[in-house]
Structure 1
């Protein structure tokens, strides 16, 4: 009986094993890849990246290829995946291409692979990795002494550096890249326009709307001449932004409509950013004109156009936020709350990825957004008194704004007054450059219980005056002991002499000389004004910019940055 049961059990398991084997065999037959011969590279890319069936297709695609063909196939796959917006997989193949290109010493495709990695990182907002890849590409270009490649790498850096608060560095690179263009085959070609567009972005990020105009106008002229629609489209949007900043809204709308007209009439590659940006700035112009329904229409074009994978991009979040504000203006607070919730959610998503290039607006205003949501929810629950409360709130905000404006205006007036007084003092000093030497009679009048020989005092004062003329006070090591050693006396006597004959303590004496030097030098030397505050402080012998700014304000009543700005204004007016 037991043997019969065992025999039946064995037969049963044997039957199950055969079934599983047949199923596995049939599954293998299903997985066996069809020929890739007649398929496009995009179709091949989709098959290879399919986790369930991709491996045999990848094996077939690369089978029998030498290293050069293998490298070409890696590049083709990377490009196809980039076009399919599968950026993470695209990076994988471009990294493989980079390694193989380095191995077979193909500098051209090595540079191309690294640059394409940068573009992919940008698309998924991995800006720090994009910068690293651009620097790597720049190193490759410099090593191979390829000017065109250098310009392309610099263009990438110029585009990304402003996103991490390095707009000044981007502008430095811009000046160098423009010099390189003149020596390259890009001069007056489409890549020249692309560089000008990228430089314009850096100036816009910095908020320098005055200098950006030059690059935009030059780029538009060149793009028209080359019939370069993509470049013209981007530059028209930037021109619209500049006019909006200048409050010339009709001109802003004119250029933004020119941009949308290009997108309607022509086939534009990589349409996402120009489409979103053009409609967003059209909406902002109409919002400024208090045409809120028009603003909503343009923003709805944006929200209809974007996909889920676009939602974490900052220009998309900007669009949702402006749409919420527009709904508030037409009293559709339910929709506004829904959209503001979405903005908070999207912002949270970006923060969770620890993206260090989050827009400054969202860093500072997350609490403000939450307060707005709470305020709107409260308004919806209220009855007829809601409007009254809203009016009161608006009135309070207006009063607060008026107060802030008044404070600002008064402060500006006070600063202007101090600035003019300071200028007059500088002019007076310049008219009286030759100071009168101390005489014995003057020393006698000034001397207060100073137990030291008069001739010795005169000698020390003369040496002090000589050190002033030599600008020793600009030395970072200029202190009481060092000066005492220079005038051949001790620190105590020197301190007493300065107290009696300069009317101040030693530290005040040195600080006054440095600040007096600074205000005159800044007024007369344009190059000196271009230094950073820290750079100016170092030139004056200060160990920190804080110390310099503090003493400058104590002496003049205004900050050094304000003084420089006003001097620059005067210089512009005199041209």
Structure 2
């Protein structure tokens, strides 16, 4: 059963964007603490074109600036960000800058939300998650319960896509309970999509009984509220549920119905390609191979035409390549392999599972070798144009270079990881470290400081390193010098000569070495976010921690943690 990605994946952007996060039009105006937002929304709604809306907003922004009306400026930035996509991050930054620390019920949370949605659309899901968390905290701090819940729901969607289904299910169930206990906030749009999210998570978590319950409930609710769009997707999910439950005839019936319904409400061809994909698999399970191949060819046609890649659909080429191979159709095999390679590269640029590449189904070297063999056989039967041969050779050279590069990088990272573990083992066994007094005192003659002063400062530095106070407190050169009862000039020179680095690198390296030791021995710490680990060992943020860790060890902390957990 192939369930690496979810159907929800291709709907996720729709749901995330619709919320600004979703339900922008579902009673949110009641949460506004200013009339300006409602008036501005109505004002631009009356403009017939986007250009007129932008002009109106820019004029409103200028007037708000002249009045020093921060809330008016924030509202203008918010609407401009949604109209001018290429400047969304710039407007979001401006919005956050002017409202940070204010007690507006919707700001600065909306600014972080805009940034999060932009990062999501760029495929930067980790960054999106961090921004959603910041927005969530801001909404909660400013007392906007509905906005907080919507952001939590978005975080649940990301967790579900990332495979953290249990956590996602808890968030979805909490959100469903919140909507049911607050009927004044329970818009049909948000409620139906929450049911859909739960259905998706359960079906891909093999919880088929629960998935079936929510499919039935979702169908009833979408029919009752005349929500044809989400209803059509529930019908498709009903077919997928039947497929995973091995009820293939019922699956075919529901998938065909869902496909026709989706055509009426959605002109994006990839939606129907999902139906074709599961129809192909259902017919194949029933032994109707030729019929199944026709559906897989429909999927192939859609993917080539749209290049809108749903990772799940890539498996279509497993069946098509196998069929061409059984029929000894060499040209068709090459075409399908080329399409697979091209679409898979697109998937890499757009999907969260960047490591889930073509190696899951084919060893890259074997795939290249098979392709070369097919080309050789085809050349014996027909003459290829010189231009075609040149293109194929260039393609193969590029592919081989990429394979070698990724292999080398993986090997180098692994070697650095093992070296780091060995160094940590030596440290635990009491072997000398780079920063001990015995290894540094030999350089005392290089600076114009009395020997006894150098020895005293180095001894105190050793005590400072052993106490790991650097992980609990932020230090400057002056503050550490004061704590060690010396002056900053002496301390700076001693660290530069005897530690062979400046003060900032010295402090960062102490914290990185401490982090390595803690992560190696403390499994619980590995489950923290990078941001939380950074703060735990003394860094201000995740970026500075990751940068210092990589500079010190040659690998990033996320890779180090992953290797420890896999060991």
TM-score (norm 2): 0.49
Please, what TM-score do these two structures have when normalized by structure 1?
A: 0.49
Higher relative contact order (CA 8 A, sep 6+): 2
